Structure 1
Amino acid sequence: MTDERGIPRREFLKSAVAIGGTAAFSACLGREGVDVPIGPDNFSSYPQRQHAWNEALPRDDHGNVVAPNHRVLLYLNYRREGQPNGDDRDQVETALRGIEHAYERSGDGLLLTVSYSPAYFDRFDESLPEGVDLTDPEALAPFEDPDLDTPDAVVHLASNTAQVVLGAEEALKGNKSTLNGVEQPDATLTDVFAVADRRTGFVGDGLPAENADDAKGVPADKVSENAPLFMGFKSGFKKNQASEDRVTIQSGPFTGATTQHISKLQLNLNQWYNQDDRWQREAKMFCPYHAENDVIEGAGDNLGTSSKIDDCRPTDETAREMGVVGHSQKSARARDDDDSPLILRRDFDSTDDGAASLHFLALQRRITDFVDTREAMNGTDITEQSAVGQRNNNGILQYIRTERRGNFLVPPRSLRSLPPAQPAGDAQEVTHESS
């Protein structure tokens, strides 16, 4: 849809989210033409698990969760030295509840999480409980040298409605006294935190193609009009994702929490589309069997609830006989004893800094689960017994460059506002004065 200004509506909305600010928010109000219901006065029905988004999101025809289109990541540093105090905790919680009052918790409304880094927890005398596996970020392959993100916290805002993520962000910064007709509290997030970085992005059918012109290195007219991601294929199949239960910490003072890894991956789309043909892209994203047997139609909607990796031949056999292995084929080897994937992906594309990239956001019970999944993706064992290279013909490794990595803990809702390292009692029982 193009309006009288000649700019496609969805392209404008994505650009507005990337730019941010009150002017972009006001512009979205005039372009989206949607009414988002306000949130409740009482949040007792909200799940303790901040990351429990799936029930609030729509499904496609196959039952796969449809990810929110628009995203903002706010990287934050606590303004005080030492341990947080009660006043700051109450201020953060009050600010968060302000935007939750303004927008309902849904795909078209607002979904959010607040997470904390190992650097944040280093300020406490006590260590995190033994059951919380939150390690410092590090390079996870011999060929990468990423910058390591160590802010104190990250707020993840998500919605199908651009004005929602922009409005929520501006209210948290104290730039909106009224949001969606709801008066906002005087308390602001930025009174307690300084914004260290802001990252944005999008995911959804057609959005990458509509925004390809915003990024250098994206071949003209090569990204499918139906693809939800820059590399042309869908992801997030139900059977290839860990469940929210699987990624949730099950015991201890952080019961209901999860860990989160966020990496920024630069994409080499010129090589992906211009050097490789469709057969190679299918073989490297999924597996050679899929390419040989025309398993995938378009972006892969026909695959249903899984990428059908079980149909592929064993990875080591494929590597020896074909000289190429698929990304999904390798990654699927990282499963638990119940044959469940270890991570729940909520990643999205971006044109931040004028380049095509992917913010790879993964949730898992332990950071070790992500490390194990990445090890499977690296395929080092495969390279040692075949002609597959360290990166060449090794899934999609030659087309991505890891620029940044960060690890975080997403505490339960009752501990989301400046949590201590060792909460007293069960997480379910913790309350705030602002409740």
Structure 2
Amino acid sequence: MPSRRDLLYRLATITGAAGLSGCSNFLARRAASPTADLPPNPRAGSLPQSQHTWNDRLRTDSEDNPLLPEHFRLFLLDLDADPTEEAARTVELAMRTLEEAYEFRSDGLLHMLGWGTAYFERLGRLGDSPIRHPTVVSRTDDPELLSYDAILVLASDVPSQLAATEAAAFGTRSTLGGVTVAERLGDVFTVGERRTGFFGEGLPAQHANAEGVPNDIPSDVPNFTGFFSGRAGTQASEERVTISDGRYAGGTTMHLSHLRESLDSWWAMAEADRVTQMFSSEFSPEDVAGHGPLDFADAVTEHASETGRVGHWEKVARARKDGEPLLLRRDFNSVDGGHAAVQFLSLQRKLAHFEETRDAMNGWWLQDEHPDIQDEQHNGILEFIEVLSRANFYVPPRDRRAFPDA
């Protein structure tokens, strides 16, 4: 079996033959010096090896459900520099600055650097990578299918720390958390798109002036739809979504959708009807109060034929392996562009798991059970969302986050 170094030299030869001299030279040097001559990350011993391993660093609620940080910023990135060893050093040192400035936890700064389809196409390796270009996965949507080189995900309970990090990574701020900023991601990338958002009780009500949000949205709900979405049994474990073997082991795939929400008619429904559409007709408002686990019966077909309405979660609950969901969601509310939205960020071992879950959410097969169930009507939350865009990324392990190539 060829060694990793042999494979890198082979890739260097291929990319050189294709005219990608910058890629070829970089990969040849990485074959000889995979760490690009940098000393080991001084904080590696206190950080999880997988960038996406956040759960142990999150707050929890009274039911021990992990709670996402309250504020997010996403940066969809275009690569300005050739993927050289110098550029790799810049990226790695810029990320180490974030780790030195703030603790890797909710009240500090959580982050992931992922690499997109445009990057793997540069290397001529998209076909060998764990990701591919996004596709249309619903017949009711016409999203923009995006291709970026990379994505930086930042999350914190402290919004000022996100602002400071953005200024240090892509602006001119000279210090971050008392640490001198010597290298910036902005020296290598241009921000092609910036997205923001929030998660937590009371925060949606603070954005009731956004289009699609009723003025009387309850003051304590964590999401625009009013229900806590991170309860036990609805999320895959971090182990489940981690690639277990091969050259991309230790990483994960990331899907990002921008979902516009229109919720005036949602909040005009009775609470019991909202529970049915979000969860299932088997539950009452009292059943879903709080953040405790819900035991979904595998009876979505029966509910469709008997009530002419099906819930979002009972459909999605069918997309499981060994009884566990396939996706680990890190989605959050957003008002980018002045409209209520969800930045739907999901992690999964392979993108087929996202597509399988979305297929279950579509619920097309249930239309034969009752005439009231249509592509969107009486079909979970589909009539209240519109998919604006989709993009796919690979999130490598921490020690290979700067230009992953093997």
**Retained in 2: the 8 A contact 1:99–1:184?**
no
User: Which of 193, 217, 220 is the equivalent residue of 2:215?
Assistant: 220
Give the 5 Å matches for 1:19-418.
Answer: 41-80=42-81, 84-127=83-126, 129=128, 132-185=129-182, 187-213=183-209, 215-221=210-216, 223-274=217-268, 276-291=269-284, 294-297=286-289, 301=290, 303-304=291-292, 306-310=293-297, 314-336=299-321, 338-387=322-371, 388-418=373-403
- The gaps in structure 1 that reach 5 residues or longer are 1-39, 424-435
**Retained in 1: the 8 A contact 2:288–2:294?**
no
Q: Secondary structure at the match of 1:417?
A: coil
Scaled by the length of structure 2, the TM-score of the pair is 0.87
- Percent identity, aligned pairs only, is 40
**Retained in 2: the 8 A contact 1:327–1:396?**
yes
- The gaps in structure 2 that reach 5 residues or longer are 1-40
**Retained in 1: the 8 A contact 2:117–2:126?**
no
Scaled by the length of structure 1, the TM-score of the pair is 0.81
**Retained in 1: the 8 A contact 2:257–2:391?**
yes
State the shift of 1:224 in Å: 1.9
Q: Secondary structure at the match of 1:233?
A: coil
Worse-superposed segment, 240-249 or 376-385: 376-385
Separation of aligned partners in 1, 2:80 and 2:261: 34
State the shift of 1:201 in Å: 0.2
Separation of aligned partners in 2, 1:322 and 1:418: 52
**Retained in 2: the 8 A contact 1:349–1:357?**
yes
Separation of aligned partners in 2, 1:359 and 1:245: 23
Q: Secondary structure at the match of 1:358?
A: strand
Separation of aligned partners in 2, 1:163 and 1:404: 28
Q: String of CA shifts for 1:134-156, please: whole Å, max 9, x gaps.
A: 12101111111001121111100
Separation of aligned partners in 2, 1:237 and 1:217: 25
Q: String of CA shifts for 1:74-93, please: whole Å, max 9, x gaps.
A: 0100013xx51110010011
Counterpart residue identity of residue 415, structure 1 = R
Q: String of CA shifts for 1:81-123, please: whole Å, max 9, x gaps.
A: xx51110010011111112111011110010001111221011
Separation of aligned partners in 1, 2:173 and 2:185: 12
Q: Secondary structure at the match of 1:403?
A: strand
Separation of aligned partners in 1, 2:122 and 2:61: 44
Separation of aligned partners in 2, 1:284 and 1:308: 16
How well do the aligned residues superpose, as a CA RMSD in angstroms?
A: 1.5
**Retained in 1: the 8 A contact 2:164–2:176?**
yes
**Retained in 2: the 8 A contact 1:140–1:374?**
yes
Separation of aligned partners in 2, 1:343 and 1:307: 17
Separation of aligned partners in 2, 1:127 and 1:288: 43
CA gap of 1:403–1:127, structure 2 versus 1, over 3 A, is closer
Q: Secondary structure at the match of 2:62?
A: coil
Q: String of CA shifts for 1:169-214, please: whole Å, max 9, x gaps.
A: 11101421111222221x211110011010000000111012212x
Separation of aligned partners in 2, 1:239 and 1:173: 38
**Retained in 2: the 8 A contact 1:286–1:307?**
no
Flag as ranges the 4+ runs of structure 1 deviating above 6 A: none
Separation of aligned partners in 2, 1:199 and 1:135: 22
Separation of aligned partners in 1, 2:265 and 2:400: 45
Give the 5 Å matches for 1:2-13.
Answer: none
State the shift of 1:354 in Å: 0.5
Counterpart residue identity of residue 143, structure 1 = T
Separation of aligned partners in 2, 1:47 and 1:389: 45
- 1:5 alignment partner in structure 2: none
**Retained in 2: the 8 A contact 1:133–1:368?**
no
Q: Secondary structure at the match of 2:353?
A: helix
Separation of aligned partners in 2, 1:217 and 1:242: 30
State the shift of 1:384 in Å: 2.8
CA gap of 1:384–1:134, structure 2 versus 1, over 3 A, is farther
Separation of aligned partners in 2, 1:328 and 1:64: 17
Separation of aligned partners in 1, 2:294 and 2:401: 35
